[in-house]
Amino acid sequence: MTQYGKKILYLAVTILLLLPVVSCRSNSNNTHTYRPYSERRNRGGSSHDDSGISTTTDKKKPIPQSGHDLVSDEWAHLDIKLGRHDNKKLYKELKRWLGTPYSYAAHTCGEGTDCSGMVMEVYLEVYGIKVHRNSAKMLEENCKVIDLEDLREGDLVFFCTSGDGRVSHVGIYLKDNKFVHASSSRGVTVDDLRQNYYSTHFHAAARVKNR
């Protein structure tokens, strides 16, 4: 090979070796615009139930997890799956109360009840325990406060809904954050502690003494 030919070959090899470098540099010039972190956070909106209550989860409060499957729709259609350790008498009694319209100072299944009236009747029927007719007195005299994470089937959950810091609402805890209560707008129904309204107004978790 002549000296000229060697120079041509050397030049060709040099060009081939430089191609990947050029290619990489070209790719590095492709810029991507990223939104600030605050704009890239989950932008999912809040959902609402038929009463207009927001169902956004309040992540500031620890919520107990029991590992059971309980869906509000299934419970409403009386098609809930119960485990062998579930208190079937409690669920059977609460099913009777579902759909009972709200009526202040009443406590009759199928006709009308308020929150404490329903709890009072259910506890007497299922556990043979008589609790106070008033939710605030129920918490003060019939219960011992427990951690939210320790809630178990049949415990009570209390709320301050009137804005004055006083206990004014009570429900019976089931499992998987669900509880049964007498809603002033929907009657006896099942709701979730993670719904924004209940998370915001939650006051205490409690266990009835001697249960």
* pLDDT tens per residue across span 73-112: 445 454 556 788 889 999 999 999 999 999 999 999 999 9
Spatial separation of the C-alpha atoms in residues 199 and 123, rounded to whole Å: 24
Q: What is the DSSP letter of 166?
A: S
CATH architecture, domain defined by 55-208: Alpha-Beta Complex (3.90)
Residues above pLDDT 70, as percent of the chain: 62
% of the chain at pLDDT higher than 90? 55
The pLDDT of residue 14: 63
Q: What pLDDT, on a 0 to 100 scale, did the predictor assign at position 142? A: 98
Q: Choose, from 107, 109, 143, 169, the residue flagged as catalytic.
A: 169
CB–CB of 114/108 below 8 Å? no
How high does pLDDT run on average in the chain? 76
Helix (H, G, I), strand (E, B) or coil at 103: coil
pLDDT confidence of residue 85: 87
Per-residue burial over 112-145, b if 16 or more Cβ lie within 10 Å, else e, is bbbbbbbbbbbbebbbeeebbeebbebbeebbee
Active site residue 181: yes
Which of 107, 115, 143, 203 is flagged as catalytic?
Answer: 115
Q: What is the pLDDT of residue 70?
A: 40
Tell me how far the alpha carbon of residue 67 is from its chain's centroid.
Answer: 13
Closest C-alpha to 100, from 9, 36, 207, 189: 189
Confidence band, pLDDT 50/70/90 cuts, at residue 50: very low
Residue 188 near residue 118, CB atoms below 8 Å: yes
User: Which of the residues 107, 109, 181, 203 is marked catalytic?
Assistant: 181
User: What is the model's pLDDT at position 176?
Assistant: 86
pLDDT value for 203: 97
Q: Is the pLDDT of residue 150 over 50?
A: yes
Which carries the bigger pLDDT value, residue 144 or residue 1?
144
Alpha carbon 109 to its chain's center: 27
What's the pTM value of the predicted model, to 2 decimals?
0.66
Question: What is the arithmetic mean of pLDDT over 14-21?
Answer: 53
Residue given tokens 């409060």 in the structure block = 61
